[in-house]
Amino acid sequence: MARRYFGTDGIRGRVGEPPMTVDFILRLGWAAGRVLAESGPGQVVIGKDTRISGYMFESALEAGLAAAGLDVILLGPMPTPAIAYLTQAQRASAGIVISASHNPYHDDGVKFFNGDGYKLPDATEEAIEAMLEEPLQMVDPEKIGKASRMEDAKGRYIEFCKRSFSFNQSLRGMKLVVDCANGATYHIAPAVFRELGAEVIEAGTSPNGLNINEDSGALHPESMRALVLENEADLGIAFDGDGDRVMMMDASGDVKNGDQLLYIITKSKLANGRLTGGVVGTQMTNLGFEHAMAELGIPFERAAVGDRYVMEKLLERRWFLGGESSGHIICLDKTTTGDGIVAALQVIDWLVHEGLTLAEACEGLASYPQTMINVPLPTRMNLADAPAIQDAVAAAEDRLGDDGRVLLRPSGTEPLIRVMVEGRDLAAVEKTAAGLAEVVRDTVERN
């Protein structure tokens, strides 16, 4: 069925505009509760990030779920991966995260995990959408759900993160800058790294409901460069607002993205004899990463953009490592979803074990120049129905050969076609991208 509300990562929008209104979120809680209750009475875990609207939507979801007969456990502000973990640990029917991830404070969203800590399957999301069309009917008064608060949620998750780091190693002697984007990791990440022995310089740990992701965190890792250099830190670590993305910075101030961090984790697993199968990236994963995997003899496959699709391919292949350039890194040997803190710990674990700097650990991965041009699209357009575009792409791919790659894709959030070209030679990449963008513009104008 065609989806009206669910996107690739739950439901998201501007607060106060459909679907992110109080009345809709109450109905969403009820509809989800009705679908989940079909398998019997249960409880649902709810967590949120630090944006001001989270309190309002938390109350609405709580009311809707209780009206459907499910108990609710409130976690308060917690990273998205913490909700996945605590849902599984609590043996709950589902977990709900109130967050718009990397978006600014005026947006918010709702995403779900099943009882095993994975994103809901399509069939369950479709059932919830169908239930939203039904009239809201409460259960009998004696069956109304109850609500409670998990007081030790923070401590439980901190210990979970620490257990993903080698027991016989510590971070003593390391100085880290930890930027939490004024988001959900603000009271978690600094504690994790301190308890493992590091000296921590905090940034982005003063949320006020309005400053989440504002000029800080994984979307703006350059903002922590001054702190890294001023404090002569060994590393900088930056998370996004809900804690499922991570970027890192070496001692010289160079940012390492998700491709580079996934490369380090993959290499460490291979060296330890713990790599099973291959690695999953996305359409945006740098071609240099694909070539590096080939040199290591590791199978590599691309999924559609979005950690949901990376996860689907990992489960299909029964592999456990995957990620996106944006910093979503999935280590299924450690957890059930992308987790910024856990991913950072896997990188640092290898650095400590081998006595490497972050820059040294990235050696062997050549990131190729990449250019992206956004072409406005006034109406929906099927690229497959445009022969001129297809011919131009084929010609560009022939010129680039094995040393380059072309990707044209419609934006999932804006009326744009993204024209991306990457390859070994920057001048050739820029020229090819400009030429393709011009063909797309001409085709759009003619249509």
> Could you give the residue numbers annotated as active site?
101
Question: Token pair for residue 74?
Answer: 């409130």
Beta bridge partners of 251: none
Helix, strand, coil shares of the chain as percentages rounded to 5?
40, 20, 40
C-alpha to C-alpha distance for 276 and 270, rounded to whole angstroms: 9
Question: Token pair for residue 279?
Answer: 């690695």
Q: Are 238 and 249 in contact (CB under 8 A)?
A: yes
C-alpha to C-alpha distance for 355 and 350, rounded to whole angstroms: 8
Question: Token pair for residue 286?
Answer: 């740098």
Beta bridge partners of 180: none
C-alpha to C-alpha distance for 140 and 310, rounded to whole angstroms: 42
Of residues 259, 279, 255, the one with CA closest to residue 269: 279
C-alpha to C-alpha distance for 290 and 161, rounded to whole angstroms: 29
Of residues 443, 359, 444, 376, the one with CA closest to residue 414: 376
Plot region of 277 (φ>0 → left; ψ -120 to 50 → alpha; else → beta)? left
